[in-house]
Amino acid sequence: MDESHLWLRPVTYYVRRSIDLVRGTVAAIERGTRTVRLADGSRHDYGHLVLATGARPRRLDVPGATLRGVHTLRTARDAAPQTTWWLAGS
């Protein structure tokens, strides 16, 4: 599954507004120089910084939550094994 389909807005929205979406693990935020250093060693200057740290899916504590066909998804990778099942209508 192409993860770009999961974005809240089309890529053109970010491009037109000069917004760079960067995925990675932050090793350091250097506020004085307005730079973020990622674990891979890359550095990114910023004017405004948004840290989207993600979340963990919460399993619902409701009757039926453990039935066949009820899934907890967080990432596209979580959804990939289900795609065939969903398309088959099982």
State pLDDT tens for residues 13-49: 888 998 887 778 889 999 999 999 999 999 999 998 8
pLDDT band at residue 1 using 50, 70 and 90 as cut-offs: low
Q: Which domain holds residue 77?
A: 3-54+67-82
86's tokens: 């969903």
Please tell me the predicted confidence (pLDDT) of residue 42: 94
| Range 68-84 burial, b when 16+ CB lie within 10 A, else e | eeeeeeeeeeeeeeeee
Asked if residue 90 is part of any domain, the answer here is no
CB burial of residue 22 (10 Å; 0-12, 13-18, 19+):
exposed
Asked if residue 26 is part of any domain, the answer here is yes
Asked if residue 88 is part of any domain, the answer here is no
Q: What percent of the chain has pLDDT over 70?
A: 74
Query: What's the mean pLDDT when you consider all of the chain?
Result: 80
Sequential DSSP letters for 7-53? SSS-HHHHHHTTPPP--S-EEEEETTTTEEEETTS-EEE-SS-----
Asked if residue 18 is part of any domain, the answer here is yes
Domain count, the chain: 1
Please tell me the predicted confidence (pLDDT) of residue 70: 80
